[in-house]
Structure 1
Amino acid sequence: MNSADLGRRVGVPSTALFTDQYELTMVQAALKAGTADRHSVFEAFTRRLPEGRRYGVVAGVGRVLDAVENFHFDDEILTFLRERNVVDGPTLAWLADYRFSGDIWGYPEGEVYFPGSPVLRVEGSFAECVLLETVILSILNHDSAIAAAASRMSVAASGRGLIEMGARRTHELSAVASARAAYVGGFDTTSDLAAGFRYNIPTVGTSAHAFTLLHDTERDAFQAQVDSLGRDTTLLVDTYDVAEAVRAAVEVAGTGLGAVRIDSGDLLLVAHRVRQQLDELGATRTKIVVTSDLDEYAIASLAAAPVDAYGVGTQLVTGSGHPTCSMVYKLVARADSADPAEPLRPVAKKSLGSKSSTGGRKWAARRLDEYGVAEAEVVGTGPVPADLADRQLLVELVRGGEVVAREPLDAARERHIAARAGLPMSATQLSRGEPVIPTEFV
């Protein structure tokens, strides 16, 4: 069973109320005006990357597909809407039969994106597409922010292990989504069992300081843990004196001790001292795991330390300072009727300042230089140039209301590694900068 199957097996209740009220009132007004069925194209994109970020990471696509499939109005929801007088009777009748029947194209999960990238394109009637705005943005903005932070941390870790452990620092449902997005962005494991169950992400965890404090001595705690979990376990060694704890850990578990975890102090200094002590005690294969409010900068600062894995919580699940991607969902084209064959007319917001958008149904491709490295994100509304035909980024996700592109989560994770590797080397710099490649509109 792959991760996508596992996600469906858990079962997701209706997502229809994960929306803003004005989505429904727009449908009511459009139904009354006779414009609700007009063939329309919406696109999700961001006008800019979070300040200082050089690329974005598309995450949450699989969750969007689940949300679209489960977007329906059952009797309980319809009763709620009726009792609150949210919409009128004819609109309630229309909602009762709602199932998305249109098409969705988008960047595959794990791909990178830039300002103006049409990350998701939703096409169908105005009414059926507009209803999906809030839930789509909720998922993409959150998951892509977490995946981008995870990707930066993965770069900083340079191949060392990464453990997602932020469940206690965010909402319980956000914790599951965060673990999934972190896995796409390059993390290896999670401490959150719900994420492991739903998405088949490897889970890890042994003990906290409370377990040591429960016992009369630190040695007693170590012995109890080793007796229960085996010598390959990870012992937490910074409850009292680290040097004494390391000595006791090796005496209890032997030189085959799996790992020790350090959760406080000057991690660079302590890690070096612990590595030296472990080696002197003969535990040369015992690994060192560090935790304690890490972010990508702290991880990078530990590059010279003898650390084997990093556990990251708060900074990861809050996007390391950027908890959203500022994606928007805009109507970019529409016809004068419900006929999909009728020509579309580009439409766009022309606000003052930075909130204007570009009309027209768009394609996107990534142009490469002579070395096969990305040099521009090219976005257009007309014919795709011949030299970019095989570099197009959008893939079909939903056809006629049916999901056609589910995939295991590992596929998205592997795609991100490949996409990031195809960017200029400066993409992996942690210093603040502009997007690593420009977006060209043609």
Structure 2
Amino acid sequence: MTVPAQRSRRVPDRTGTALRVLLAVALLVPVGALFSSTWRSNDEQRSGAERERHGVEYLRSLGQLTLALVDAQSGAVAGRSVASSALRSAVEQTSAVDVRYGADLRTSERWAGLHAKIEALPDRPPANPQDAWTTYTETVDLLLALYAKVRESSGLIRDPDSDAYHLQDAVAEELPEALVAAGRLADRTVLATERPGGDRVRTASELALARAEVLSPAADVVDNLRAAVENTASRSLGGNVLSRLDGYQRAVEDLASLTRQPATANPIQVGAARSSAQLAGSGLAVIILTELDLLLRDRIDDLTGERQIAVGALVLALLLVCTLAAIPLLAARAAARSRARIRAGEAIPLGFGPTAGTEPGAPPTGPPPSEATAGGVTPVPDGRPFRPEAAGEPGRRSALADWQHPVPAGSATRPSAAERQPSPWGRRDAR
């Protein structure tokens, strides 16, 4: 007799398998939401940092234009010919930068107005120095308004890092105002020499106001740079900025000291001090812009690294979910193959019945029927226990008869002489 092979483990049903797969796939929902939020935040920060770098590039071109325009104003007020080549070169450079970043920074309209104003400046200085002062002052005011527009549109004014914020405030607001104020202070000194003696009071007040306009933004520059150095992790910011800052402070103080006594102020000396202050401020602006760009570049590199980590975490989560979903499916497939083998008739032999491959009619194997098991039960060929009390029941064929006549009918042989010789002990049934 054969019985089906018992499965070693419980095969999960289809409902359990489907639930396990759904739970594994459901893990993708929070993982996907977290990755989407992280990616969106990272992308916004990267875009903001890139836009700020565009603003730094624009400010660099405006720095050259500021020096050229202030020099042109001082020359026109003093009655000298304008250095048109330097101004034209600065205008071309700013125009090229505006072509690249003007649409992103929304500065094209303001630059178009400033460009038209610069082109309308006279090649020769006006006969009246006050007219030159007025014309150039309006143009420089447009330039300062363009500085503010670049700060706002690029996002530099909203930079989240303390060091970058103080650097942009110094280079995009305070320092341009200080450079322009230094030029106007020197120009007012020149205009004071053309006034009659009765306007000394007005001249002294105007020079005092102009001197305050130079010193106030210069002090703000110092405060911003010191705050940036104290709150930065950059190793090069402190040494590069502070070395230039000392020279700028000395130049501004020298310019202010020459104009404290309007009656004795020499326009030539004031003009030389103005040039020194502007050169020192220009060099300081270049260093500030370079350090600011380095800070923004490092921030972009950090954001790129965070993006790669997020992508790696997402890939790892996908692999884990796929593994969790594949385990129940593989188990269900293995169970299906096991059930198919059972239905095909694969079985494990038990007892003393015929094994797989035994031909019909072949003699059974196993111990003889005389070897009874415990309890008086004797195994028989068909696998059922033989009980003597059931052998004589009517209508029931004795299984012992099949065991006692294993040889087919007609194939029995006569016993030999030795077999027919009586036993010395006599017949066992005679007792």
- TM-score, normalized by the shorter chain, greater than 0.5: no
Pick the structure with more strand per residue: 1
TM-score where L is the length of structure 2: 0.24
Pick the structure with more helix per residue: 2
Q: Higher Cα Rg: structure 1 or 2? A: 2
TM-score where L is the length of structure 1: 0.23
